[in-house]
Structure 1
Amino acid sequence: MPYEWISPSPADPQAPLRELHLWPHRSLPKRGFAAFIGGTFLLLLLPLYPAIGSPVLWGLLPFLMGTLWLLYWAIQKSYRDGEVLEELRIWEDKVRLERHSRHRATQDWEANPHWVEVKLHERGGPVANYVTLRGANREVEIGAFLSDDERVDLYNELARYLPSRG
């Protein structure tokens, strides 16, 4: 699962009762990325092998290397865009959600846990099984980057720690 509940420190009186970290799933880890680019490079060399020593090599080479560079750039951009971390902290007297993203300032939301309502929107949201937290006159999304099944599991866990009382 691309999220985990963090155990609070019992020695710290300011520590939250519960803490949840969420991040986007990575289907291609960095080691797999290096192997993929290397394998693609070797496969792109196959059509160049018979052209060695002919002017056709210089006609094909820029296009094949441009393709490799474009593939490398697109995957790196996907990695950069996916650098998102959502942190949900639950105390006795407040709930705080922070979203850290590479391209934006940190977004945060805070409410009283007694009035927080966890909602699962099976339809009508930007994605299926859209999970939101409602409180303090505001509704915020959580875990929109998770898969449909993961969002349902997240909703069930959040509903256990934040029962719908609103």
Structure 2
Amino acid sequence: MPYDWKRNSGAVRELHLWPHNSLPPRGVMVVVLGVFALGSIPLLAVLGSVVLWGLLPFLLVAVLGLWLALEMNYRHRRTIEVLTLTDDQAQLVRHEPGGRIQEWHCNRYWAQAEMHEKGGPVPHYVTLKGGGREVEIGSFLSEDERIALFDELTRAFKS
């Protein structure tokens, strides 16, 4: 699962969440080079003619577009959420890809995890409520992972 509990010291626990990365950087290279190689096969028929120079830019634009889309996807997957639980405080810090940081904290006694099975942006939407605010957590996780996360958060806030 793309989240992990860490115990820093005595009573301090941290939950680190990150988006799933299904295609490693080496895989991106293989996909982009594969698309270029397969796209070059039809160009072999016009090799040595002027038509090659008319078709080649379209192949290069397609490969460049694929590479840019994959890079943008990687940038969006740099989101990291860290939930820190101490004896008396709960704090959630979300690090966004653009460098923006969002924080939420409240007294742990009043903090609670809630699951919105319907009506949220995704099914089984998990939020943390407390301190007069309600914030999302793990919205980038799959549905099964959000259900498991909710169970773990409920147990963590009770202990």
Q: TM-score, normalised by structure 2?
A: 0.96
Aligned to 1:61: 56
| Structure 2: distance between partners of 1:49 and 1:128 | 49
| Structure 1: distance between partners of 2:127 and 2:142 | 15
Asked whether 1:70 is paired with 2:68, we answer: no
Aligned to 1:84: 79
Aligned to 1:5: 5
What amino acid is the match of 1:100? H
1:111-134, Cα deviation, whole Å (9 max, x unpaired): 111111110100000110000010
Aligned to 1:131: 126
Higher helix share: 2
Q: 4+ runs of 1 displaced by more than 4 Å?
A: none
Cα offset for 1:103?
Answer: 1.7
Aligned to 1:119: 114
Residue 120 of structure 2: SS of its match in structure 1?
coil
Cα offset for 1:87?
Answer: 0.1
1:57-99, Cα deviation, whole Å (9 max, x unpaired): 1111000111000100111011112210000000001000000
What amino acid is the match of 2:50? P
- From 93, 102, 106, the equivalent of 1:98 is 93
1:140-155 mapped onto 2 (5 Å cutoff):
140-155=135-150
| Structure 2: distance between partners of 1:31 and 1:21 | 25
Cα offset for 1:160?
Answer: 0.5
Residue 7 of structure 1: SS of its match in structure 2?
strand
What amino acid is the match of 1:93? D
Structure 2 alignment gaps of length 5 or more: none
Residue 107 of structure 1: SS of its match in structure 2?
strand
Higher strand share: 2
1:9-20 mapped onto 2 (5 Å cutoff):
9-10=9-10, 17-20=12-15
What amino acid is the match of 1:137? G
Q: TM-score, normalised by structure 1?
A: 0.92
Cα offset for 1:163?
Answer: 3.1
Cα offset for 1:6?
Answer: 1.2
Aligned to 1:13: none
Cα offset for 1:31?
Answer: 1.1
| Structure 1: distance between partners of 2:112 and 2:156 | 11
1:27-42 mapped onto 2 (5 Å cutoff):
27-42=22-37
| Structure 2: distance between partners of 1:40 and 1:151 | 35
Amino-acid identity (%): 48
